Chain A
Amino acid sequence: MSELKLEAKQGIDQQTINSVKSLGESYKYGFTTDIDMEYAPKGLSEEIVKLISKKNDEPDWMLNWRLEAYKRWVKMDEPNWPMLNYKGIDYNDQYYYAKPKSLEKKPKSLDEVEPALLETYAKLGIPLKEQEFLAGVIGAENNMDTKPKKVAVDAVFDSVSVGTTFKDELEKLGIIFCSISEAIKLYPDLVKKYIGTVVPRTDNYFATLNSAVFSDGSFVYIPEGVKCPMELSTYFRINAENTGQFERTLIIADKKSYVSYLEGCTAPMRDTHQLHAAVVELVVLDEASIKYSTVQNWYPGDENGKGGIYNFVTKRADCRGVNSKVMWTQIETGSAVTWKYPSCILRGDNSQGEFYSVAIANNYQQADTGTKMIHLGKGTRSRIVSKGISAGKAQNTYRGLVNIHPKAANSRNFTQCDSLLIGNKCGAHTVPYIENKNNSSRTEHEATTSKIDDDQLFYCLQRGINEEDAVALIINGFCKEVLQALPMEFALEAQKLVAISLEGSVG
Chain B
Amino acid sequence: MRRNQVAVVGAAETTELGVIPNASQLQLHADAALNAIADAGLKLSDIDGFATAVETPQQVCHYLGIKPTWVDGTSVGGCSFMLHVRHAAAAIEAGLCKTVLITHAESGKSMIGKAPRSIPADSLQGQFEAPFGVYGPPSMFPIPVLRFMKTYGITHEQLASVAVVQREWAAKNPRAMMKDPITVADVLNSRMIAYPFRLLQCCLVTDGGGALILTSADRAKDFPRKPVYIMGTGESVETPMVSQMETFNSSRAFKTAGPLAFREAGIAHRDVDHLMIYDAFAHLPLFGLGDLGFMPHEETGRFIADGNTRPGGKLPLNTNGGGLSYMHSGMYGMYALQESVRQMRGIAPAQVPNAKISVCHGVGGMFAASGTIVFTNER
A, B assembled together? no
Interface residues, chain B, CB within 8 Å of chain A?
none
Interface residues, chain A, CB within 8 Å of chain B?
none
